[in-house]
Structure formats: structure tokens, C-alpha cells
Amino acid sequence: MNILYACKDNYARHLAVSMTSLFDRNRRVKKLTVYVISMGISRESQEKLHAIAAQYGRELVFIELPDVTRYLSHTAEGGFDISVTGWLFAGRLLPKEIGRILYIDCDTVIAQSLMELWRTNLDGYVLAAVMEPTIYTEVKKNLGLTGQDIYIDAGVLLIDLKRWRETDAEGRLLDFYEKKEGKLFACDQDMVNGTLQKEIKTLPPKYNFFPNYRYFSYKDLVRHMPSYARVTEAEFKEAKHHPVIIHYAGDERPWIAGNMNHYRKAYEKYLAMTPWAGTPKEKGKEFYMMAYHLMDYATAVCPPIRWFISEHLAMRIVAARNRKRSHADKSEKTAD
């Protein structure tokens, strides 16, 4: 089993948690190698992570990410967030003999064995992933997608690296990014959905479960994104009660003081098993955490409230980001 992470030094603690849970829950896997595309992970952090791997008798390989901005035009590189897009270069960075890789975001906990996921038949698709039914309508429209099209989350990806290389997926993704001039809501995620739409196999939600989905009803998610009907209600309920991979996306993260994340104990359990044990939670957002959790309960009682607040705030962020980029482009042209 080949696992891939991409990480900066300030996320090494979360990588340690995810990696520890990975090793703990997959003890029966005979050979498990973890590759980490590093974006400046310090030697100290690397040594700590190697110690975790050694404790479980697993191999850990760090690959430092080179300067990738040379693959982008000057106009697009400004919005390219390498901290979340490093995995896109797995095809060129990983050994050529690796034909399949399971990419996992650092802000995760592996709650069960990944063997069933690893053995998934990709049926000729470039990759497999879990759908994200709460994506905003405007985001999909910007990518040229309709309500019937799927939209996947890029936090967990089972990738056929052989087909990835053969079809030049990396090049096509970068071309898409160039055409959009970097004006995307979720950089790597939008690139994948906009480019590989017909080359993605969908996975059950238990393989990439967002804690806030605990408060949504299945019917409301299907109503919001009709393509989510590919997921059965039974699969959605299984994900809530028995997730395989918990993905701490969103604002209510277990390392923030005052959070009331329903799945926070899984993170805390594995943090205590790492060299980062005892790290205090990040303070300063206690009131916001309380308000966010109240919104979780509002979601269960009156979903439209959540949809309105989330989409309104998200679109404001996108508009502000685009204005900033446009201003930067004008400034560069004036300077030229």
C-alpha cells in the first residue's frame, strides 16, 4: 500500500496525527510505504515523523517539492497555493514503478483499515474520490458544471498513476488553471473537477467524511446537488456512524480551543501518541467556535439557514480574492 501526503512544516503536527492513525489502523497490511511531498518541513519535524514510522516498522520517504512556478504563466502563478496543490506533481516526483497511490490530506484521522479502499477497482478511471454535496452552485457554474455533474473533494484521492501519466493529467490540470487565470474557489479541487469530470469514479462517503455532514440530512444534500443520489442513504448513514477517514475540513477543527467537533476525540487520541503530545489548542476563536456549533444545530433544524450563511460568506471571499488578483494584475501591467 502506497500512501501520499503533501505537507508544510506548520502542518507537521497534523501529519503526525494522521500518519499515526494510519499505522495503528493498518497493522495487518504487510507492506505500507508513506511518501511525503515536503514543502519546507524542518529537519526536526522530519526526525519526529521518522520516529513514528520506525515505531510501527514502516517506511517513510520525504520528497522535497521543487519550484513549480516555472510550469505556470506569470499571470496565473500568483494565485497558485502550493500548500494545497503539491500532490498534483506526484506523477513526476514519485518513482516510476509506482502505479497506484492513495493521497490523503494531513487534516485527517484514519479510523478503520484502508485495505478495502486500496483494493478498489478503478475500472479505467484516472482516480476515485468522494463527492462534496455542499459545494456552492456558483462554484460549479464557474467550472462549467451543472447540477447533474459530480463535484468531488480532493482530500482523499485513489489515483491510477499509470493512467495519470499516460493521459498527461498534470498538464491538463495546469492548462485549466491557466485558462481560468487562477480565479478558482478551491484551487486544486476545482482544477480536478473542471478537468477530469468524466475520469473520476465516485467512492462511498465513509472514505472522506466531513464532521459537519453529521448535521445534514441525506434528502437535503440530494436536493442541493442531485448527482449526490449516486450515494445511497444507507451509505450516508454508515459514513456518519462508522467513517473510515475523518476529514477535519471546515472551521470547527479539533486543534482550535473551544471547538465542539463531534469527532474531536479521535484526533486527540492520536495526537497524544505523537511527539507533539500536549500541544495546547490554538486560542482566540472560542466565541466563533460556539457560534459555529450553534450553526451546526441550526442545520439539522432548518437547513436553508446554513445554505444561506455559508454561500453568502463564501461568495464574498471569492469576490474579494478576485478583486485582489485583478488589482495585482493591473499594478504589474502599469509597472511594465
Percent of the chain predicted with pLDDT > 70: 88
Q: b/e string for 27-64 if b means 16 or more Cβ within 10 A?
A: eeeeebebbbbbbebeeebbebbeebbeeeebebeebe
Q: What is the pLDDT of residue 81?
A: 65
Calculate mean pLDDT across residues 313-334: 54
Confidence of residue 83 (pLDDT cuts 50, 70, 90): low
Confidence of residue 185 (pLDDT cuts 50, 70, 90): confident
Domain that holds residue 178: 2-335
Looking at the structure of the chain, the number of domains it has is 1
Q: What is the pLDDT of residue 312?
A: 66
Q: What is the pLDDT of residue 74?
A: 42
- Top-ranked range on mean pLDDT: pick from 140-154, 174-188, 258-272, 309-323: 258-272
- Locate 261 and state its grid cell: 467537533
Q: Which helix (H) or strand (E) holds 16?
A: helix 12-25
Residue 322's CB is within 10 A of a number of other CB atoms, namely: 15
- Supply the CATH number for residue 206's domain: 3.90.550.10
pLDDT exceeds cutoff 90 at 317: no
- Top-ranked range on mean pLDDT: pick from 48-57, 64-73, 144-153: 48-57
Q: What is the pLDDT of residue 300?
A: 86
pLDDT exceeds cutoff 80 at 151: yes
**Rounded-to-integer distance, Cα 196 and Cα 191, Å:** 8
Percent of the chain predicted with pLDDT > 90: 75
Least confident among 4-8, 81-85, 125-129: 81-85
**Rounded-to-integer distance, Cα 21 and Cα 7, Å:** 17
